Structure 1
Amino acid sequence: MDEQPGLSDQYRMASPWPIFVAFGIPIAELGILFDVFVVAVGGLLLFCGSLTGMIREAGYAKTAWRPLTVFAVLLFAIGGGLVFTDVNLVTRGYAIITAGALLAAAGIGGELFVPKREPV
């Protein structure tokens, strides 16, 4: 008798990332819509981090650090656009820029300080 009946190596493993993407989008939108700084930053970090995990898992990137940096640049651009175009959206833009800064710090820090593994 098998320890795990019905499971075999031919089936793909389920990815945990889509559920976090699904939670990250509305959390970020609620934080930005209602001008709740911490919720907006947390939702954007969850959303961008989950997308980075999906990109890494799918094999489109060797590490997660460069996609994090790309998302940081996108968030800087969007947040900068909100800060410099409309007076009413300044704090929302600052929340997006803060999330971008945290992602940039993680991406740059990971690229510089995490040791690279040799292929097996």
Structure 2
Amino acid sequence: MDEAPGLSDQYRTASPWPVFIALGIPISELGLLFGLFPLAVGGLLLFGGSVVGMLSESGYVNSTMWASVVFSVLLFAFGSALAFTEVNLVVRGYATIAAAALLVVGGVVFELFVREQRDAF
């Protein structure tokens, strides 16, 4: 009798991304709620990078750069709505826009430098 029926050795049993997504959401919410710029940016980067990593690992996207660009556009739209409306949420909007810009930079750097090193081995 097999101890783990239906499981193959070629598949990993767990992915680390859901834990980072679960941490990124409350960290970014705390930063946005209390107006703490670095905490909000860091939480949004953790959340966005984890979503892009999960999509890449599962095979839904071929390029992490384009996935991070699309997620950054969504963040930029949300941040613009916060920053440039009549509601007094300017610092929160700027934090979201900064996280969107850093996520694009991180996706481009990963695609250009880290991907080449991984493919070389």
Fold match by TM threshold 0.5: yes
CA RMSD, aligned part only? 2.4
CA distance in 1, matches of 2:76, 2:66: 15
Q: Which residue is 2:61 aligned to?
A: 61
Secondary structure of 1:85's match? coil
Q: Which residue is 2:99 aligned to?
A: 99
CA distance in 2, matches of 1:18, 1:99: 20
Q: Which amino acid aligns with 2:54?
A: M
CA distance in 1, matches of 2:55, 2:26: 20
Q: Which residue is 1:45 aligned to?
A: 45
Deviation for aligned residue 1:87: 4.6
CA distance in 1, matches of 2:56, 2:95: 26
Query: How big is each residue's C-alpha offset from its partner over 1:49-88, in whole Å with a ceiling of 9 and x where there is no partner?
Result: 0011110111001232111111111111111111110351
The count of aligned residue pairs is 114
The two structures have a TM-score, normalised by structure 1, of: 0.82
User: Which structure 2 segments of 5+ residues have no match?
Assistant: none
User: Which structure 1 segments of 5+ residues have no match?
Assistant: none
Deviation for aligned residue 1:115: 3.4
Segment drifting more, 6-15 vs 94-103: 6-15
The two structures have a TM-score, normalised by structure 2, of: 0.82
Segment drifting more, 54-63 vs 9-18: 9-18
